């Protein structure tokens, strides 16, 4: 008995198709003639199905127009028969209509005005109001008031404590330094990291300071004893940014392993590992309302995360270059993200795009915003731009002065933050210094007017 060769279903299907084609190939030229009447009927049915409402409205409008035209024609004929058109001797002061006559006996028949016609079916088109660009609020210019030196390397991060009495900085010299905010004097130095300290956060409810760095370590310092009490292990590479949740005891860290990790502050448990970015996560912020976590990455995207599910709610892809800074507005339900192409403002919770702020010609490393609506951005070339948050008006530009003895190329600004009152701005820079800026008290609207030209302002929406 001959064994039957087995074939795949794919092969058998194609064989069957080929046989069917060969069977009917001789009948391909014997197609029936096209019935034009049926084709026309088919198209009429399709048109009626798709545009039936339009056809009905058009027919109704035509019928009304025809009926109105017939009525006017009949009325005109009656007017000619009833009254003779004649020029009478002498005109009255009333404007050409003889005394005791009516408008029908005038030389030119009076035509009804459009307002006297039936306009029940007419749609009045109102002129569209031109969009108005709101005038920016006046902000006093800012000036440098103090330079603090003490670190032996690039100063990479800064955090102000909730009581507004001191602030902490971390640098490439692996040391965390605590400074008095009022006097600028050094209070304390904390050592423990074995590589650059990249981010700091001070807890508003506990006496804790959190730090992370390029040594892959995330540390919790007890400020009552000035020592490390917890380590959070899990990151596979350098940790670049961190944020404390404002209402629950949760810490979020992110870095070069393209992930953001959510930690239980007390148990050190890794609650979520937020994966989705394809490059370094450079910035993370947290808020009490949704989205509770927002991250910006070198893959040019901004992601909004659902903290409960540990999943990405949406991804914003408007930026063309790496996103290195994200900042939340302290009172409005909005945030801004910065990349070398421009700064973009978004509205929560969906991440609706609001406007672009353009002008930086360098990598934007950091941003800060105060309750007065002053947004500050710092660039890799030492430039600082001050913006009015609501209108995007750039009211001041500063070039950070480098410390004497350092190179001009060491003018980069790595991080910045306002103090709790929003009246002082602290920046950390590549010349190993910390600079504190404040508003110029002597400036007025007359001495520093708003150079506002709305005719050249264009909001580009992508």
> One digit per residue, pLDDT tens: the chain, 462 residues?
556 667 788 888 888 888 888 877 777 666 677 788 888 888 888 888 888 888 888 888 888 888 887 777 766 665 544 544 444 444 444 444 444 445 454 454 555 544 444 444 555 566 666 566 788 899 999 999 999 999 999 999 999 999 999 999 999 999 999 999 999 999 999 999 999 999 999 999 999 999 999 999 999 999 999 999 999 999 999 999 999 999 999 999 999 999 999 999 999 999 999 999 999 999 999 999 999 999 999 999 999 999 999 999 999 999 999 999 999 999 999 999 999 989 999 999 999 999 999 888 889 999 999 999 999 999 999 999 999 999 999 999 999 888 887 776 678 999 999 999 999 999 999 999 999 999 999 999 898 888 877 655 444 444
DSSP three-state, residue 321: coil
DSSP three-state, residue 18: helix
Domain residue spans of the chain: 151-439
- Position 95 scores a pLDDT of 47
Core vs surface per residue 369-402: b (16+ CB within 10 A) or e? bbeebbbbbbbbbbbbbbbbbbbbbbbbebebeb
Distance of alpha carbon 381 from alpha carbon 430, whole angstroms: 10
The pTM of the whole model exceeds 0.75 = no
Distance of CA 364 to the CA centre of its chain: 17
- Position 105 scores a pLDDT of 47
Strand partners, 158: 169
Which DSSP state fits 129?
Answer: P
The class that CATH gives domain 151-439 is mainly beta
């Amino acid at each position: 008995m001959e064994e039957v060769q087995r074939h795949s279903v794919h092969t058998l299907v194609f064989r069957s198709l080929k046989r069917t084609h060969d069977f009917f190939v001789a009948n391909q030229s014997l197609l029936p003639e096209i019935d034009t009447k049926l084709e026309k009927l088919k198209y009429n049915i399709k048109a009626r199905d798709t545009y039936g409402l339009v056809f009905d409205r058009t027919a109704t409008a035509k019928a009304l127009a025809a009926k109105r035209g017939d009525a006017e024609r009949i009325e005109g004929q009656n007017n000619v028969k009833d009254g003779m058109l004649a020029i009478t001797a002498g005109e009255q002061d009333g404007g050409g209509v003889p005394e005791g006559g009516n408008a029908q006996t005038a030389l030119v028949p009076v035509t009804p005005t459009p307002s006297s016609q039936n306009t029940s079916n007419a749609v009045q088109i109102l002129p569209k109001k031109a969009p108005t660009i709101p005038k920016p609020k006046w902000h006093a210019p800012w000036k440098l008031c103090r330079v603090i030196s003490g670190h032996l390397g690039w100063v990479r991060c800064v955090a102000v404590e909730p009581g507004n009495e001191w602030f902490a900085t971390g640098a490439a010299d692996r040391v965390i330094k605590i400074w008095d905010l009022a006097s600028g004097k050094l209070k304390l130095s904390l050592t423990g990291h074995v590589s650059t300290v990249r981010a700091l956060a001070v807890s508003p409810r506990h006496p804790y300071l959190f730090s992370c760095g390029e040594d892959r370590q995330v540390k919790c310092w007890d400020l009552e004893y000035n020592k490390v009490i917890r380590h959070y292990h899990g990151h596979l590479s350098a940790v670049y940014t961190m944020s404390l949740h404002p209402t629950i005891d949760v810490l979020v860290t992110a870095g070069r392993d393209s992930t953001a990790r959510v930690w239980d502050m007390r148990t050190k448990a890794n609650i979520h590992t937020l994966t989705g970015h394809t490059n370094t996560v450079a910035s993370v912020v947290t808020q009490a309302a949704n989205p509770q976590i927002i991250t910006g990455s070198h893959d040019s995207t901004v992601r909004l995360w659902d903290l409960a599910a540990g999943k990405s709610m949406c991804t914003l892809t408007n930026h063309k270059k790496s996103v290195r800074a994200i900042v939340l507005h302290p009172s409005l339900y909005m945030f801004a993200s910065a990349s070398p192409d421009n700064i973009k403002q978004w509205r929560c919770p969906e991440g609706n795009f609001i406007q672009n702020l353009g002008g930086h010609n360098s990598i934007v490393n950091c941003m800060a915003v105060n309750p007065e609506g002053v947004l500050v951005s710092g660039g890799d070339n030492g430039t600082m731009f001050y913006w009015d948050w609501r209108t995007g008006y750039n009211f001041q530009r500063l070039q950070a002065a480098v410390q004497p003895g350092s190179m001009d190329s060491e003018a980069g600004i790595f991080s910045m933050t306002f103090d709790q009152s929003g009246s002082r701005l602290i920046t950390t820079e590549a010349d190993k210094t910390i600079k504190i800026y404040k508003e110029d008290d002597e400036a007025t609207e007359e001495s520093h007017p708003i150079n506002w030209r709305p005719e050249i302002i264009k909001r580009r929406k992508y």
